[in-house]
């Protein structure tokens, strides 16, 4: 099997899972968009994925993402959108905005001016998702804003004309049933939508838990392993 055939077969399997999860949730097929997470995999895979119809790819490390986006920039017909889904260091935020079309991991106000500056330099707006933490209060904090801070963060994004607030992103905490975490997320999102009805994207669900995320309302799933295979050197 060629790499292209392998990716095509994996994509078909993932699309079938998404379709089945939409059906089970009573949502129309096509309600959920696939972002293929290409971290650790080469630009050649991004090209193959684009040829196979993938429109959105995700990366979580700035240096790797920047290099890969540059490697793919020569292909005029390669119309993939780059999603930055990793932790954002303040001093890298402007640089990320120079190649990312969507930044999914905005979790603190200090990032916003820097992202806006990068967007200015590139001369086009950047879509933003606010990453919300689903960790139980008191647990060791992983990435993401406290749910109570989302409206404040959204207000800051709205003040930056270069940024377009699209919605929320979350990762299910390790060691918890993802369905329970995503149920909390659905509540957080419903409340958020009352204030920001235009920000209707919900990016949640990965290879292992995309069904639970879709049943909780995800509009975008971020899938790496199930499409590309196991990442080298990663559990
Ligand atoms: C790596 C990663 C994914 C994809 O995870 P898989 O289990 O390989 O599908 C999704 N979201 C984020 C934030 C990631 O870092």
Say if 234 falls within a structural domain.
Answer: no
Say if 235 falls within a structural domain.
Answer: no
Token pair 């997320």: residue: 185
Cα 101 to middle of ligand 1, angstroms: 18
138 versus 151: the higher-pLDDT residue is 151
Residue 170, ligand 1, Cβ within 6 A: no
Q: pLDDT (tens digit, 9 = 90+) per residue, 140-193?
A: 766 899 999 999 999 999 999 999 999 999 999 988 999 999 999 999 999 999
Decide if pLDDT at 78 tops 90.
Answer: no
Say if 159 falls within a structural domain.
Answer: yes
235 versus 183: the higher-pLDDT residue is 183
Residue 225, ligand 1, Cβ within 6 A: yes
Categorize the per-residue pLDDT at 74 as very low, low, confident or very high, splitting at 50, 70 and 90.
Answer: confident
Give the chain's domain count. Answer: 1
Candidate from 85, 228, 230 with most ligand 1 atoms within 8 A of CB, to mutate: 85
Cα 159 to middle of ligand 1, angstroms: 30
Categorize the per-residue pLDDT at 139 as very low, low, confident or very high, splitting at 50, 70 and 90.
Answer: confident
DSSP H helices, the chain, are: 3-24, 43-51, 62-72, 93-99, 112-122, 150-158, 178-195, 210-215, 225-228
d(CA 85, CA 203): 10
Say if 18 falls within a structural domain.
Answer: yes
d(CA 186, CA 91): 32
Decide if pLDDT at 196 tops 50.
Answer: yes
d(CA 214, CA 152): 27
Categorize the per-residue pLDDT at 235 as very low, low, confident or very high, splitting at 50, 70 and 90.
Answer: very low
Q: What is the pLDDT of residue 76?
A: 54
Residue 83, ligand 1, Cβ within 6 A: no
Candidate from 65, 142, 206, 227 with most ligand 1 atoms within 8 A of CB, to mutate: 206
Categorize the per-residue pLDDT at 234 as very low, low, confident or very high, splitting at 50, 70 and 90.
Answer: low
Categorize the per-residue pLDDT at 77 as very low, low, confident or very high, splitting at 50, 70 and 90.
Answer: low
**CATH code assigned at 40:** 3.20.20.10
Shortest-distance atom of ligand 1 to CA 105: 13
Say if 233 falls within a structural domain.
Answer: no
Residue 206, ligand 1, Cβ within 6 A: yes
Residue 213, ligand 1, Cβ within 6 A: no
Q: pLDDT (tens digit, 9 = 90+) per residue, 81-119?
A: 999 999 999 999 999 999 999 999 999 999 999 999 999
Say if 191 falls within a structural domain.
Answer: yes
* Per-residue DSSP letter, 176: S
Say if 158 falls within a structural domain.
Answer: yes
Q: What is this structure's pTM?
A: 0.96
Say if 10 falls within a structural domain.
Answer: yes
Domain span at residue 34 reads 3-228
Decide if pLDDT at 60 tops 60.
Answer: yes
Shortest-distance atom of ligand 1 to CA 228: 8
């Amino acid at each position: 099997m060629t790499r292209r055939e392998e990716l095509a077969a994996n994509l078909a399997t993932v699309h079938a899972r998404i379709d089945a999860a939409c059906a089970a949730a009573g949502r129309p097929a096509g309600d959920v968009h696939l972002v293929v997470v290409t971290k650790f995999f080469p630009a050649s895979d991004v090209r193959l994925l684009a040829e196979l119809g993938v429109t959105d790819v995700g990366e979580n490390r700035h240096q790797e993402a920047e290099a890969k986006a540059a490697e793919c920039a020569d292909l005029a017909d390669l119309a993939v959108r780059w999603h930055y889904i990793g932790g954002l260091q303040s001093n890298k935020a402007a640089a990320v905005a120079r190649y990312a079309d969507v930044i999914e991991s905005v979790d603190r106000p200090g990032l916003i001016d820097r992202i806006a500056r990068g967007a200015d330099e590139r001369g086009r707006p950047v879509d933003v998702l606010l990453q919300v933490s689903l960790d139980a209060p008191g647990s060791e904090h992983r990435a993401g804003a406290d749910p109570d801070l989302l409206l404040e963060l959204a207000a800051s994004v709205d003040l930056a004309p270069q940024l377009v607030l699209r919605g929320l992103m979350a990762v299910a905490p390790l060691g918890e049933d993802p369905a329970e975490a995503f149920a909390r997320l659905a509540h957080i999102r419903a409340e958020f939508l009352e204030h920001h009805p235009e920000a209707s994207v919900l990016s949640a669900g990965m290879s292992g838990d995309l069904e639970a995320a879709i049943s909780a309302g995800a509009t975008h799933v971020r899938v790496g392993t199930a499409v590309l295979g196991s990442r080298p050197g990663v559990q």
